[in-house]
Amino acid sequence: RAALISFSFSAIAGAALAQELIPERRAVVTAEQDLPGGDIASIFDTTIEACERACLTNTRCDAYVYNTRNGSCFAKNGPGEGVFFEGAYSAIVLEGDAAVRARAADRRAELGFLPDWDLQYAYDQAAGLGRQHTTGPWTAEDHLLAAGEAEARGDWAGAAAFTGAALNLTDDAATWDDFARRQLEAGKADPNQSGYFYFQAFQSAMNAYLRAENPALRHTILVTLAEVLEVNGRGRDTVQALRLAQSLQERTDTAALLDDAIGKYGFRVAETQVQSDLARPRICATFSEDLAASGVDYSTYALSYKHQFSDRLHFGLFINTPYGADANYTQGAYNGLNATWDSEQIAGVLRYEVTPAVSIYGGLRYLRSKAEINIPGALLPGTYSARGSTEDFGYIVGAAYEKPEIALRVALTYEGEIEHNFPTTEVGPAIGGTQNTTTDIIMPQSLALDFQTGIAKDTLLFGQIRWSEWSAWEVRPPAYEGLTGDSVTDFDDDVFTYQLGIGRRLNDNWSVFARAGYEKSNGGVSSRLSPTDGYKSFGIGGTYTQDNLKVTAGLEYVKLGDAIDGSGVVFEGSEAVGFGMTVGFRF
């Protein structure tokens, strides 16, 4: 029901410091080794992370040793050659390439479709890489040779680990890209660890691009980044990465990937709702992006099939996407917050005519849902993301009464709730990294009363009253709730919507209709992922019928209600214009 939606809101946000993209110094770590001599500072009862941080922030420190047996740390300058020491970790410090660090800001600007919190994850990965993949006494060439051998035998996790160890020495763009590629393949090879490897690959691909200079290499890295974004459920960002790649250097194979990605994740209907008001069908659509300027056409399709088995028994098959969301904040207090919800539904319904005037109907609904949310560090103690997908069943029941001689028909339809149990991957430093949890979400039950009646020759009055129990819907991932004590998003109130319209047949081929819609404003706190509170709408349309063909089209204007979310951000002046069309053929 919404296209060309514009929001205006006000909020107070503090100034932010420029984001650091590449660590100025990094540690190359060796296990079971001491570096005797050269001590400049000692810290006791500490951790290896704190030990490394103390060394890297001290310009005199060019090495450190950490003893795991007693938690002691020794910052060093010019120590001697390494010697075996069980339980010790030693590290030498390397300086980052100043030229690479300087041009990283340009690379970051090119990745404008990624929020700052994504890049913070990449920075944290690079800063901790030395401890994650210890390098030891071997050269980068030794590790890369071992990585190639591991890849050849299908050991993608091992290949990635050797590549990470080499990166501590080289820190170059091409090796970071290989790191991302091998982590991606490791995720494909091990479904139990896919979430971990895919997220690591995403960070590695960003690190690769930040360090790249020539356009050909940047293009190659962006193709890797696009694939990684897709497996992480970020299809729209996949499109942006491939578009950027083609802008740097056009390639035929990448053009094919871009066309495919646009088909799956580009301009599309994020939510559609087909409502049978018994006089004129209605399609409401929420588009994933603003409509472009005139001269570009967009279309979407919903599918239904009806079959009459006998005089009394009828069957209908309906395919649609009943729920959807696509929120992406690129400025203001919520900059970097984005969330998507995609759904697909197949419903099969049988209708039985008990008498010529009374019929009953019912059937099953199959619903598949996929959701993702990314929350920037400005809103939480550290960044947070969650994603999951699932599928479940529900049911539909109803009854109808009709009196054809006065075009009267009244139908009452109940759709039962569907409880989704989302297997969820939650990621964030404040929850201890990656947690695999289960999130229970109830898709709301609803009750709809549809009616129509003739009020004059060739004239119908039609309408609908619908109740949906949205107060039962909330997204409360366990790790997020443990961190904040709250849900990610929810609705406080149930929703009642009302529609009333008039249809008029002009001749055997043409009829027209007009209708008004209303949803009561409930006040209170609105979800920042659905920042509206009620609406008023007005629509007009018409139907053309010729033999077995029937085409209905309509245009609707919607004034969305102003809303305030839990942080005090005001969303006001929102409106929408939507266009819908149905094509039916009887055979």
Residue 241 is assigned to a structural domain of this protein: no
CB 431 within 8 A of CB 479: yes
CA distances (Å), origin 153, targets 108, 146, 149, 156: 36, 11, 7, 8
The pLDDT, as a whole number, for residue 575 is 82
Q: Is residue 250 part of a domain?
A: no
pLDDT for the residue 523:
76
In a domain, 340, yes or no: yes
Q: How far apart are CA 386 and CA 314, in angstroms?
A: 43
Q: 252 Cβ partners below 8 Å, 6+ apart?
A: none
Helix residue ranges, H only, 474-558: 478-484
> In this structure, what token pair is assigned to residue 356?
């010529």
Is 9 part of a structural domain of the chain? no
Q: Is residue 256 part of a domain?
A: no
pLDDT digits (tens, 9 = 90+) for 75-134: 999 999 999 999 999 999 999 999 999 999 999 999 988 988 889 899 999 999 999 999
Those residues of the chain that have pLDDT short of 70 are 1-19, 266-301, 331-334, 378, 524-525, 528-529, 565-570, 587
Q: Please give the Cα distance from 418 to 231 (Å, whole number).
A: 26
The answer as to whether 559 is a domain residue is yes
Residue 228 belongs to some domain of the structure = no
Residues 33 and 29: their CA atoms lie apart, in Å, by: 9
Token digits for 435?
């947690």
pLDDT at 14: 32
Q: For residue 411, what is the domain's CATH number?
A: 2.40.160.60
The whole-number pLDDT of residue 8 equals 29
CA distance 121 to 383: 8
Closest CA to 418 of 466, 464, 372, 469: 469
For residues 561 and 571, is the Cβ–Cβ distance under 8 A? no
- Domain range spanning residue 334? 267-585
SS (H, E, C) 79-109: CCCCEEEEEEEEEEEEECCHHHHHHHHHHHH
Q: So what's the pLDDT on residue 331? A: 62
Q: How many domains does the chain have?
A: 1
- In-domain check, residue 234: no
